[in-house]
Amino acid sequence: MKNLAVLASGRGTNLQAIIHSVKKGFIKADLVLVISDRKKAFALKRARRAGIEALYADPKRFSSREAYDRYLVGTLKKARVDYVILAGFMRILSPSFIRAYKNKILNIHPALLPAFKGVDAIPRAYRYGVKVTGVTVHLVDEATDHGPIILQEPVPVSDTQSVAELEARIHRVEHRLYPQAIARLLSGTLKVKGRRVLSR
Ligand code: GRF
- pLDDT attached to residue 9: 98
Q: Is 109 in the pocket of ligand 1 (CB under 6 A)?
A: yes
Distance CA 200, CA 197 (A): 10
Question: In terms of pTM, does the model score above 0.95?
Answer: yes
Instruction: Choose the catalytic residue: 109, 138, 171, 175.
Output: 109
- pLDDT attached to residue 200: 83
Q: Sign of dihedral through CA atoms 178, 82, 99, 71?
A: positive
83-86/105-109 β-pairing? parallel
Distance CA 148, CA 139 (A): 5
- pLDDT attached to residue 70: 98
Residue whose CA lies nearest to ligand 1 atom number 9? 88
- pLDDT attached to residue 64: 97
Distance CA 18, CA 158 (A): 29
105 three-class SS = strand
- pLDDT attached to residue 24: 98
Give residue 193 CA to ligand 1 midpoint distance, Å: 27
Per-residue pLDDT tens digits of the chain, which is 200 residues long: 999 999 999 999 999 999 999 999 999 999 999 999 999 999 999 999 999 999 999 999 999 999 999 999 999 999 999 999 999 999 999 999 999 999 999 999 999 999 999 999 999 999 999 999 999 999 999 999 999 999 999 999 999 999 999 999 999 999 999 999 999 999 999 999 999 999 98
Contact between 25 and 34 under an 8 Å Cβ cutoff? The reply is no
Ligand 1, residue 171: give the atom nearest the CA. Answer: 2
Ligand 1, residue 109: give the atom nearest the CA. Answer: 4
Give residue 36 CA to ligand 1 midpoint distance, Å: 13
Cis peptide before 148 (omega within 30 of 0): no
Nearest to 30 by CA among 104, 105, 82: 82
Residue whose CA lies nearest to ligand 1 atom number 14? 13
The reply to whether 109 belongs to the active site is yes
Residue whose CA lies nearest to ligand 1 atom number 1? 88
Ligand 1, residue 8: give the atom nearest the CA. Answer: 12
